[in-house]
Amino acid sequence: MSFQLSKQEKVKEILKCGKDPSYFLNNYARISHPLHGLILFNTFDFQDDLLKDFNDYRFNVILKARQLGISTITAGYIVWMMLFHRDKAILVMATKFATAGNLVKKVKNIMRNVPDWLKIATISVDNRTSFELSNGSSIKAASTSGDAGRSEALSLLVLDEAAHIDGLEELWTGLYPTLSTGGRCIALSTPNGVGNWFHKTCTEADSGTNNFNLTTLMWDVHPDRDQEWYKKETKNMSKRQIAQELECNFNTSGETVIDPECMEWMLSTIKEPKYRTGFDRNFWIFEEFDPTCNYLLVADVSRGDGADYSTFHIVKLETLEVIGEYQGKPTLDMFANMLNSVGREFGGCMLVVENNNIGYSVLDKLISEYQYPNVYHSVKSTHEYIEQHQAELRTSAVPGFTTSMKTRPLIVAKLEEFIRNKLITIYSSRTTNEMKTFIWRNGKPQAMKGYNDDLIMALAIACWVRDTALQANARDLNYQKAFVSAIYTTRTTMNTQIKGQHGYKTNEIFDKMTEAEKLYNQYKWIIK
């Protein structure tokens, strides 16, 4: 108790507290408990470890489960820093101003409940979401929507719920220079999918490729939590919520378009390509051409600004296996040539090219120069398929598939349906990686900022036109069957031989029928 301490003892305690934040918090800091009111901090071992890391490392990133008291221990560390150090400028940032303000409020409450004799600095300026001490140390809250902190030198930057801060990549670029004079950073959050700044920072910290120290705190790090607690807590939670709130799982957290369970299933089907070929070795082949199978080739042409990729998928029609994939940045001429070659190699399969932007240039070369025989056509401004021979007679027909505000949600929904029902098999890690960053943003399915969805959109188109391709193939096979069967029947009913005549001459028609019969026997697998 403070009243039992002499002046000399108090000085010793002040010095002791100034050297050790854990000692200070456990002996003199009080927090508000929802059940027990104002109590001593009484830190857990993992919280003490965090306090040590805050001192030992300039940059700390904390991947955490919910309700572990990480915000509270961070608030306690801030109190210690401000109270026992002069001229410390601290900024707390979050997506919402209220979230950052709540952390500042925690700091203020702890500060106010420190024993009076230990208050070597007092609050001199007091506002709702900021305050300043008499020793020059200060703290303020800010939302990420403003320009707070960009023009000042910071001693400590706290990014609260960092995974949920939109555009943190750009913000960090502007904020990092404010820490150049020895400033520190604490970024803490539950996971929120992959691809964002928090995920990348954690991943890089784990591999030792950035200057952040990573701490991962699962739900069971808390000594009061066991399997019974977990079972009760997760009873009414979705898999996505469990991953995000308790298990620190990036892959199955976040608002991705693809459900977390489906994401896990897709990750289990990934395998290395059989060949990596093409001029840039970005053409991945997982299975070679099988003449007994039917294929679909679907391409998405880049915008030409260097920010995205030209892509295509080779899909087995019957099984919906994606057995080939390309992602690169070739010229339009090179890409058209590649599509022509691949399409012909895979049996002259139906070739679907997204006709947005410069996709028409590729289509023009495929039709005019290469005369590719099986280009997908549709009715302009719709997703209605029209056969190539009919398209030549209709002014409303256009080559390729049009992705628009109308068709985009339709094709994405079809892709999601196929994945959800495990009707499609994706072997490529590139495509599944895009799925991880394909999110609902402003109510629309699109890539997370700074990422691409070119492979996804090409695959979505493939799913949409697959039934059309199957019907077209079946119709073509029926035509072939009828034609070849007619020729064969003619051969068996037409015979120019006259009974009893020797040295008769087979006519031209007979020769042609014989040839047709040979072809029929050679290619009867087509109509099996």
Identify the CATH number of the domain in which residue 426 sits.
3.30.420.240
In 291-406, where does DSSP find H-type helix?
332-345, 359-364, 388-391
Task: Identify the residue with better confidence: 499 or 38.
Answer: 38
Residue 471 pLDDT = 74
pLDDT confidence of residue 3: 53
Find the mean pLDDT for residues 55-68.
95
Percent pLDDT > 90 in the chain is: 59
Q: Which domain holds residue 417?
A: 260-471
Write out pLDDT tens, residues 178-197: 998 899 999 999 998 877 89
Residue 327 inside a domain? The answer is yes
- In a domain? residue 54: yes
Q: What is the pLDDT averaged over residues 23-44?
A: 88
Residues 236 and 94 in one domain: yes
Q: Is 451 a member of any domain? A: yes
Residue 22: pLDDT over 90: yes
13-27, 255-269, 492-506: which is most confident: 13-27
- Going by pLDDT thresholds of 50, 70 and 90, the confidence category of residue 1 is very low
Average pLDDT in the chain: 86
Q: Are residues 128 and 235 in the same domain?
A: yes
What is the predicted pLDDT for the residue at 491? Answer: 47
| Same domain, residue pair 118 and 215 | yes
Domain end, chosen from 215, 245, 275, is at 245
Question: Taking 50 as the threshold, does the pLDDT of residue 429 lie above it?
Answer: yes
Q: Name the residue among 173, 136, 141, 145 with its Cα closest to residue 157.
A: 141
Pairing of strands 138-143, 89-94: parallel
Same domain, 302 and 410: yes
Same domain, 193 and 71: yes
Looking at the structure, do residues 507 and 465 belong to the same domain, yes or no? no
* Phi, psi torsion values for 129, nearest 5 degrees: -120, 20
Which DSSP symbol is given to 159? E
Give the pLDDT score at 297.
Answer: 97
Q: For 205-245, how does the pLDDT look when each residue is reduced to its tens digit (9 = 90+)?
A: 999 999 999 999 999 999 999 999 999 999 888 877 888 88
Last residue of a domain, which of 428, 449, 471? 471
DSSP state string for 359-373? HHHHHHIIIIIS--S
Quick check: is 143 in a domain? yes
Q: What pLDDT shows up at residue 150?
A: 60
Q: What is the Cα–Cα distance from 101 to 354, expressed in whole angstroms?
A: 48
What's the start-to-end Cα distance of the chain, in Å? 93
* 455: three-class secondary structure by DSSP: helix
Residue 7, domain member (yes or no):
no
Whether residue 389 is found in the same domain as residue 455: yes
Same domain, 30 and 56: yes
Whether residues 163 and 273 fall in one domain:
no
Q: Quickly state the pLDDT bin for 260 (edges 50, 70, 90).
A: confident
Q: Band of the pLDDT at 254, cuts 50, 70, 90?
A: low
Residue length of the chain: 528
Cα distance between residue 351 and residue 363, in whole Å = 10
CA dist 436 → 169, 170, 195, 429 (Å): 18, 21, 7, 11
On whether residue 63 sits in a domain, the answer given is yes
Domain boundary among 423, 439, 471: 471
Highest mean pLDDT out of 307-311, 338-342, 400-404, 444-448: 338-342
Residues whose CB falls within 8 Å of the CB of residue 447, separated by 6 or more in sequence, listed in order = 434, 437, 438, 439, 453, 456
Number of domains in the chain: 3
Report, as an integer, the average pLDDT of 242-265: 81
**Predicted pLDDT of residue 511:** 54
- Give the CA distances from residue 367 to residues 45, 256, 390, 392, in Å, rounded to whole numbers and listed in that order: 69, 38, 15, 12
The answer on 61 and 141 residing in a single domain is yes
Residue 401 lies in a domain: yes
Position 527 scores a pLDDT of 43
Q: Which residue is it, tokens 């952040």?
A: 212
Residue 239 lies in a domain: yes
> Between 502 and 414, whose confidence is greater?
414
Cα–Cα distance, 487 to 520 (Å, whole number): 9
Q: At what angle do helices 21-28 and 7-19 cross, to 10 degrees?
A: 130
**Pair (193, 270) in one structural domain:** no
Handedness of CA 229, 235, 239, 242 (dihedral sign): negative
For 474-518, the pLDDT digits (tens) are 555 544 455 445 544 444 444 445 545 444 444 554 455 556 556
Quick one: pLDDT at residue 382? Answer: 65
- Predicted confidence band at 170 (pLDDT cuts at 50, 70, 90)? confident
2 band by pLDDT with thresholds 50, 70 and 90: very low
pLDDT confidence of residue 307: 76
Instruction: Quote the percentage of the chain above a pLDDT of 70.
Output: 84
Q: Is 313 in the same domain as 461?
A: yes
What confidence tier does 295 reach under pLDDT thresholds 50, 70, 90?
A: very high
- The contacts of residue 361 (CB under 8 Å, 6+ apart) are 301, 332, 336
**Using 50, 70 and 90 to split pLDDT, how confident is the model at 383?**
low
What's the predicted TM-score (pTM) here?
0.65
Amino acid making up residue 88: K
Q: CATH number of the domain at 134, please.
A: 3.40.50.300
